[in-house]
Structure 1
């Protein structure tokens, strides 16, 4: 099945029929990957495409094919996409644009002059220097009466452009900036410029107390819709012959800016980066095991969704990465083309 568009129009509806393993993936290694996937109690889905064709998709642990997945922090990659489109359309000046003028009241309350040095690129790359709103700080941030103010008035823990400080508050600021710059909600803008052209119906998700759609968490997509999104990047920003995103933005997003002190992965502009078996692997990653992996050199895109509830599942996510590294990449290396 070609992945230029969801079948039948409208929101993508996964087809569970298994494609013959003849489009560039070794069938034995592919089978081993899906057997390993079936053994994971938290895994909901595994989809593998190569050369723009769905090779195989399966759903596990009682998951229906059409279930919408909370993609969690993979939403950060989508926010990055929207920023790139907004720059292309002239709503934003560029990645070097300072963010303080968007929030003069809250920026002035910070008291540290470095607040005026933070740019859009710093937010995208998790290099604002502001204290994180994630991990142990997430609950208090989400419970605050103003998420934008809470992030902007936090103390600096590094210089803008310095070390990576992962923070959902940073991408939420980007959602607030998109809302101001485009004059539309992040939901409306995302539907118009990204998801509707790909035949995907994006549903509303969590909003902050001021009504701004959460930047960087809680978006909902079906697994095959996630694959369509990954294929947009693999194809250089083109869907069904229509350019939705500039290739230059994708290239810029996939340049490593920092490295996570928690997992060692590289980070670009809303995308994680890792070398696997000598190949650059770029991935959108959400808590619990929501992934969109893109391996451009092998023309391969892989999606997983998982149970997002419960404690951090380090073993589960490691197994997903191992499936890609030890089975799916070798399957592409040994496959026909």
Structure 2
């Protein structure tokens, strides 16, 4: 995989002081944990950094930013004549023809599911799954739209799932297989993996794991109108349609969430500045045509609007019309900081010597008999020398952690996880487990007094299951 071209901020007309202010602001937010950032201007990477223990080569769960990759797959299929935007959705699923009788469902077009304009007034995922747990497309089409398709916006996971299912049906390939020669390889995107459902169909609406670099490359392809290194990959017409408002929200603006009230394209959000793909807990691909820039971010936060607010506040004023001479010191200071980014590890001390024998191989069960946040987690064993054994869904996951020396202990197996923490007192062990291919942390507290533990997700994973799945899918 070739690296993207790099430059100094000043050479591309970006004030490094503004980038530093953006980093300061991200790190100062109490409910925001940044994991990575890449900023491109004029096709050059002017700033990139990963907060250790996160790293450049690790794929990240993109959540709904996956939708923009699904849109791109649909764009290729349209260009190849495999899909027509004005075809009825039901025409791609003739086996459901007799079941789908509602006229609005039958009138739903491909462009409607591509733009979250199916006619439903709200999210339908739970209802669709209740209608048909094994075939979400059928379950979705069985729910009569509230309005005529194309007249109302509702952010709706089964709409994107249906678009992805159409692509996979007409191509005979999974999304990752179809995108590999058309998008991933031409753009130099390496490892990418997508969560699939029980039918083996990749979800489309979520579940893609890819690197921050892959996010930046997708944004650059759209910024360049579908052209990569002089070769047209996507039709210019698809890029233009995908990144303009196909449908607008009727509801009054939600206080504090103005960037979600600007309209929706083909699996891209319009924004106060440019447009973007985004995913739960702070995964962003922000494209700024006016500034000729792309911003890629991975993070953990429930306040995604705050991330964009900080970008508008600090980065937009940093863009100049031309190179900025005499900024060598500021550029060097930024580069030094980006190379040293790190998340603070959990607090904790060495195992208390006077209680070491009690802690040695001590076993802990869930407080109250069930771990509410992670019901598959049934037991934890502790080795005061710095090892935690987590029993989850029958798996014994042995994890090392620092013993009061600070820092993160990083492992790829049995899971890509970084562990930090230690003893807060003689009776209590507190450990932070950062699942490195996702935004999520699991905070574990073991109490020696009653031999119980609590485990709490800082942000709840949206794809439920045992801990072995809190990672990118692996080929079997």
**Structure 1 residue 19: Cα displacement:** 3.7
User: Given that residues 39 and 48 in structure 2 are in contact (C-alpha distance below 8 angstroms), is that contact kept between their aligned partners in structure 1?
Assistant: yes
User: Take 2:41 and 2:223, find their aligned partners in 1: how far apart are those partners?
Assistant: 10
Q: Assess, with a 3 A threshold, how the Cα gap between structure 1 residues 168 and 239 changes in structure 2: closer, same or farther.
A: same
1:204 to 193, 207, 222: 193
Give unpaired runs (5+ residues) of structure 1.
Answer: none
1:6 is matched with 2
User: TM-score, normalized by length of structure 2?
Assistant: 0.61
2:70 is matched with 79
1:318 to 305, 314, 323: 305
User: Take 1:203 and 1:30, find their aligned partners in 2: how far apart are those partners?
Assistant: 29
1:130-154 per-residue CA deviation (whole Å, 9 max, x = no partner) reads 465567x389569922222221112
Query: What number of residue pairs does the alignment pair up?
Result: 314
2:117 is matched with 127
User: Take 1:138 and 1:191, find their aligned partners in 2: how far apart are those partners?
Assistant: 33
1:168-215 per-residue CA deviation (whole Å, 9 max, x = no partner) reads 111111111112212222221011211111121343322122221111
User: Take 1:36 and 1:45, find their aligned partners in 2: how far apart are those partners?
Assistant: 14
User: Given that residues 123 and 154 in structure 2 are in contact (C-alpha distance below 8 angstroms), is that contact kept between their aligned partners in structure 1?
Assistant: no
Larger Rg: 2
Alignment of 1:210-289 (within 5 A): 210-260=199-249, 261=251, 263-276=260-273, 281-289=274-282
1:151 to 124, 140, 152: 140
1:31 is matched with 20
- The alignment's C-alpha RMSD in Å is 2.5
User: Take 1:268 and 1:247, find their aligned partners in 2: how far apart are those partners?
Assistant: 15
Q: Assess, with a 3 A threshold, how the Cα gap between structure 1 residues 131 and 20 changes in structure 2: closer, same or farther.
A: closer
2:88 to 88, 93, 98: 98
Q: Which has the higher strand share?
A: 2
Give unpaired runs (5+ residues) of structure 2.
Answer: 255-259, 325-476
Secondary structure of 1:108's counterpart equals coil
1:87-135 per-residue CA deviation (whole Å, 9 max, x = no partner) reads 111112x211211111123353233122221111101110111465567
1:207-230 per-residue CA deviation (whole Å, 9 max, x = no partner) reads 122221111111011001110111
2:406 is matched with none
User: Given that residues 244 and 265 in structure 2 are in contact (C-alpha distance below 8 angstroms), is that contact kept between their aligned partners in structure 1?
Assistant: yes
User: TM-score, normalized by length of structure 1?
Assistant: 0.85
The higher-RCO structure (CA 8 Å, 6+ apart) is 1
